Amino acid sequence: MQLGFNNLFYAVLHAAEMQLALDRIHSKNHIDREENMQNNEQIPEYVLRRYKQMYTTSILARYEAGSVSPTISNQMRNYLNQIGDKLGIEREG
């Protein structure tokens, strides 16, 4: 489940990078990406908030295995859907 969550986070990360790339903006790291997202008018504030929450949860899932409850994981999947709707992440099935 933790690996699956990190895959969800990276789907969001790459969608954000694709949006930034449309404005010829390319991030060097997570901190740079967050700043670029914050300064880009095409990325709404709620997407940035959800991204930050998913980033934090991804760190927990990766480095503190087992610390992400099923409830939080489901919430993060909902965030992915919200972000995906805005940034154009295609969903399977």
Whole-model pTM?
0.73
Q: Please report whether residue 38 resides in a domain.
A: yes
* Listed residue (46, 78, 73) closest to 60, CA to CA: 73
Q: What is the C-alpha to C-alpha distance for residues 48 and 40, in angstroms, rounded to an integer?
A: 10
Within a domain: 92:
no
Is 78 a member of any domain? yes
**pLDDT tens per residue, range 11-59:** 888 888 888 999 999 999 989 999 999 999 888 888 888 889 888 888 8
Residues 6+ apart with CB under 8 A from 23: 40, 42
Q: Which domain holds residue 57?
A: 2-87
Beta-carbon contacts of 55 under 8 Å, excluding residues fewer than 6 positions away, are 9, 30, 34
Q: Is 11 among the domain residues?
A: yes
Residue 45 lies inside a defined structural domain of this protein: yes
Range list of β-strands (E), the chain: none
- Could you tell me if residue 93 is inside a domain? no
Between helices 45-63 and 30-38, what is the axis angle to 10°?
A: 160
Asked if the structure places residue 46 within a domain, the reply is yes
Domain tally for the chain?
1
1 band by pLDDT with thresholds 50, 70 and 90: very low
Give the three-state DSSP class for 89. coil
* 27 lies in some domain: yes
